[in-house]
C-alpha cells in the first residue's frame, strides 16, 4: 500500500485577477521506506507539491492521500492534527524557535502532542544523537551554525517518529561539507530505521544519493529515474 498518493493534482494561484498554474495534473505514489527526490528548476512546482502532500495548502483540483486519509477533504484543524501526528517537515529556512535550546526545539512537536517531559526529552536527545549533535543540546539557534541548525530541524522531525518526512530544499543554505554530511545522515536513517523521506531539491549532491528521482517541469511530471 502506498504511503502518500497524489491523483491528478492541480494548483492555481490567483493574484490580482491573474491565474498562475503551479501544478498541472500530477500523479505520484510514494511507498513506505522510500528515499525519493522531486527535482526540477525553480518554478517547476516542487515546493507546491510538497506543501499539498503535507496538507499545508489545498489543491485546486485532484486528490491527496496519506495512507487511508484523504488529506484535501479535511478541515484546517484536522489537517493540522494530521501533520502533528503523522508528518515531519524540514524547511529550507530551518524554522527553529529562537528562545528554545536545540533539545527544546527537537522536543517541540512532542510537547504539542502532550508527551510527558521525560519521554519527549529522551526522544529528542535520541534524535539529536542520531544527527551527531547531542553535545549541542543546550545551545540556542543563534549559537549554532547553519548546518547545525538544519540538523536540529531534522532531529525535530525525527523525534516525532512520523510516517514520512517531507524536506523542502533541505541543503539549499548549506555549504558542500555540511550539505553532504546532512545527506549521509538522512540516508543512514532511511536505511537503518526505515524513515521515509521525500525531498524537493535541485541540489546535485542530494540527487546523487537518492534511490528515486521524480522530475517536474512546468508543473507536470516529465519523467522519473529509479536507482538500485
Spatial neighbors of 54 by CB under 8 A, at least 6 apart, are 83, 87, 89, 166
**Of 144, 174, 163, nearest in space to 83 by CA:** 163
What would you report as the CA-atom Rg of the chain, rounded to the nearest whole angstrom?
17
Q: Which residues contact 59 (CB under 8 A, 6 or more apart)?
A: 9, 10, 11, 23, 52, 72
Predicted local confidence at residue 177, as pLDDT: 81
Assess contact for 71 and 25: CB atoms under 8 A: no
C-alpha cell at position 45:
512546482
C-alpha cell at 209: 544519493
Q: 34: helix, coil or strand?
A: coil
Q: Which of 31, 94, 6, 39 is nearest to 209 (CA)?
A: 39
The reported pLDDT for the residue numbered 17 is 83
User: Are residues 150 and 182 in contact, defined by beta-carbon separation less than 8 angstroms?
Assistant: yes
pLDDT at 130: 87
Cα separation, 156 vs 107, whole angstroms: 6
Cα(223)–Cα(63) distance, rounded to whole angstroms?
20
Please enumerate in sequence order all residues whose Cβ is within 8 A of that of 164, keeping only pairs 6 or more positions apart, or say none: 3, 4, 30, 66, 86, 87, 88, 196, 197, 198
The 8-class DSSP code of residue 140 comes to -
Q: Residue 85 has what pLDDT?
A: 93
**Residue-range domains of the chain with CATH:** 4-226 (3.40.50.300)
pLDDT tens digits for the chain (228 residues)?
Answer: 799 999 999 999 998 889 999 999 999 999 999 999 999 988 899 999 999 999 999 999 999 999 999 999 999 999 999 999 999 998 888 889 999 999 999 999 999 999 999 999 999 999 999 888 999 999 999 999 988 999 999 999 989 989 899 999 888 888 888 888 888 888 888 888 888 999 998 888 888 889 999 999 999 999 999 986
Q: What was the pLDDT predicted at 193?
A: 83
- The predicted pLDDT at position 173 comes to 81
What's the pLDDT score for residue 202? 85
Note the pLDDT of residue 228: 66
Measured CA to CA, the distance from residue 199 to residue 66 in angstroms comes to: 16
Amino acid at each position: 500500500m502506498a504511503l502518500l498518493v497524489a491523483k491528478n493534482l492541480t494548483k492555481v494561484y490567483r493574484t490580482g485577477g491573474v491565474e498562475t498554474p503551479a501544478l498541472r495534473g500530477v500523479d505520484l505514489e510514494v511507498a513506505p521506506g522510500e528515499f525519493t527526490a522531486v527535482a526540477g528548476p525553480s518554478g517547476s512546482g516542487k515546493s507546491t507539491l510538497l506543501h499539498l502532500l503535507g496538507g499545508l495548502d489545498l489543491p485546486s483540483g485532484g486528490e491527496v492521500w496519506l495512507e487511508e486519509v484523504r488529506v484535501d477533504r479535511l478541515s484546517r484543524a484536522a489537517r493540522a492534527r494530521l501533520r502533528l501526528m503523522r508528518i515531519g517537515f524540514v524547511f529550507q529556512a530551518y524554522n527553529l524557535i529562537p528562545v528554545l535550546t536545540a533539545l527544546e526545539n527537537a522536543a517541540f512537536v512532542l510537547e504539542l502532542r502532550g508527551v510527558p517531559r521525560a519521554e519527549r526529552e529522551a526522544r529528542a536527545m535520541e534524535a539529536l544523537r542520531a544527527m551527531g549533535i547531542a553535545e549541542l543540546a543546550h545551545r540556542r539557534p543563534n549559537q549554532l551554525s547553519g548546518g547545525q541548525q538544519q540538523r536540529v530541524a531534522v532531529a525535530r522531525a525525527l523525534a516525532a517518529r512520523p510516517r514520512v518526512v517531507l524536506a523542502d530544499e533541505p541543503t539549499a543554505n548549506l555549504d558542500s561539507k555540511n550539505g553532504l554530511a546532512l545527506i549521509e545522515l538522512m540516508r543512514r536513517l532511511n536505511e537503518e530505521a526505515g524513515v521515509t523521506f521525500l525531498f524537493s531539491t535541485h541540489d546535485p549532491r542530494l540527487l546523487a544519493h537518492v534511490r528515486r528521482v521524480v522530475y517536474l517541469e512546468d508543473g507536470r511530471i516529465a519523467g522519473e529515474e529509479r536507482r538500485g
